[in-house]
Amino acid sequence: MQNFDKLYINGEWVAPRGSGHIDVLSASTEEVIGRIPEGTAQDADLAVRAARKAFEAWSTRPAAERAQVLQRLQQGLTARQDELARTITGELGMPLALAKPIQVGTPITVTGTYVQLLQEYSFEEQVGNSLVVREPVGVVVCITPWNYPLHQIIAKVAPALAAGCTVVLKPSEVAPLNAFMLAEIVHEAGVPAGVFNLVSGTGPIVGEALVRHPDVDMVSFTGSTRAGRRVSELASATIKRVALELGGKSASILLDDVNLKNAVKRVVSNCFLNSGQTCSAHTRMLVPRSLHEEASQLAAELAAGFTVGDPFKGEAKLGPLISDTQRARVREYILQGVREGARLVAGGPEQPEGLTKGYYVKPTVFAGVTPEMTIAQEEIFGPVLVVMPYEDEDDAIRIANSTVYGLSGGVWSNDVERAKRVARRMRTGQVDINGGRFNPLAPFGGYRQSGHGREFGRYGLEEFLEHKAMQL
């Protein structure tokens, strides 16, 4: 049981203004494993004031000194990586063997990229008779989700601090314990008072108070498209800069010259990672009509091998979903798929056998899915893969681009140049070619209703910078 009864504001652990608290539940046991303060609008205001006060000194510190602070933060994360991984597995339910390298290892790596980038990045350049300087945008509010909780925090906080901004973090109240551990690490790393602040609470109370606040210069938000619209509406009143990383319905296109068995295996693994609770998951597998039955059968066989169970025991490939609400949502999508005529070839809406506790869902595969079906258009956020036949290359691209989203995708072909030509026609922010691996220096973000703005590498750093021209 991890109990946190204070917020981290202005370099200190302070009592919240309200008396409420939020219980944190284990996704695999449904038991209370922690408790955090239910922050108020007054707490949000105090945090923003602290960040505003700290901004001038932090923003003018040399980049090399900011890099040293980030390096100490990276060292602190590394020292506590086992504890962080166990905490996130408890909150979220990702199997521990995956949580350590993905949920904790990736944030450690990303933090290190900004340590290195600050040693190389030029914050000013001469353009004709102008000196163009890049300056921090100011006070930044970071609102982060529960599915990759520490990863999404670091994806915002590390570049914001590297840029010279000060930060107020509002983590998801569903998986927040890792954020409080991060605040402890921040304190131990010697981050100056007010540069990093943590206020927990709900979106309608703390989140909206932060987004509305007149002393906030920018909001970086990751979450649902619906919530992103609300953030944009509230931020528009004060013309804040807004970066949004939202939902996705990513397509992986298998071309007709593909190694089918290998491609299907990799797509299924991508789709089911983190129990399907990944915004960039390849949840639509597009295959030539002539290969549709074979691909569907392969996917069904692979899904059957994704054992579901206790994320701590080391045997399960698939842990639970985050909550009962999310489980009910995913089950309803599965039922909707059946109602609309999709063919269920693996899984289904029933609770997996032998698991009476925990928010588990069977790994599910649908075949014969058409573009207009709900399960082909809407983000399910669970372990549900839809297999969709296409007629030719143009048809595949049309189907891939037929949703409101554009976050990620994939192309599979024995001809890499052909795959790249197809990838260029996909209206999406990231395309994995033949399973290309994650690159923490490459930009990540979406087209259309998947959001705007980019994270990681210099692209993520530049999200938190303003440009000023000095005419000489």
**In three state form, how does the secondary structure of the chain look?**
CEECCCEEECCEEECCCCCCEEEEECCCCCCEEEEEECCCHHHHHHHHHHHHHHHHHHHCCCHHHHHHHHHHHHHHHHHCHHHHHHHHHHHHCCCHHHHHHHHHHHHHHHHHHHHHHCCCCCCEEEECCEEEEEEECCEEEEECCCCCHHHHHHHHHHHHHHHCCEEEEECCCCCCHHHHHHHHHHHHCCCCCCCEEECCCCHHHHHHHHHHCCCCCEEEEECCHHHHHHHHHHHHCCCCEEEEECCCCEEEEECCCCCHHHHHHHHHHHHHHHHHCCCCCEEEEEEEHHHHHHHHHHHHHHHHCCCECCCCCCCCCECCCCCHHHHHHHHHHHHHHHHCCCEEEECCCCCCCCCCCCCCCCCEEEECCCCCCHHHHCCCCCCEEEEEEECCHHHHHHHHCCCCCCCCEEEECCCHHHHHHHHHHCCCCCCEECCCCCCCCCCECCCHHHEECCECHHHHHHCCEEEEEEEC
Cα-Cα-Cα-Cα dihedral sign, residues 242, 247, 249, 251: positive
Of 245, 379, 455, 463, which is the active-site residue? 245
- Say if CB 114 and CB 70 are below 8 A apart: yes
Strand partners for 291:
none
**Catalytic annotation on 245?**
yes
Q: What type of residue is 239?
A: I
Return the DSSP state at 427: -
Bridge partners, residue 344, by sequence? 366
Active site residue 279: yes
* Cβ contact 374:336 at 8 Å: yes
Catalytic residue among 142, 279, 379, 463, which? 279
**Residues forming a β-bridge with 135:** 466
Catalytic residues: 245, 279
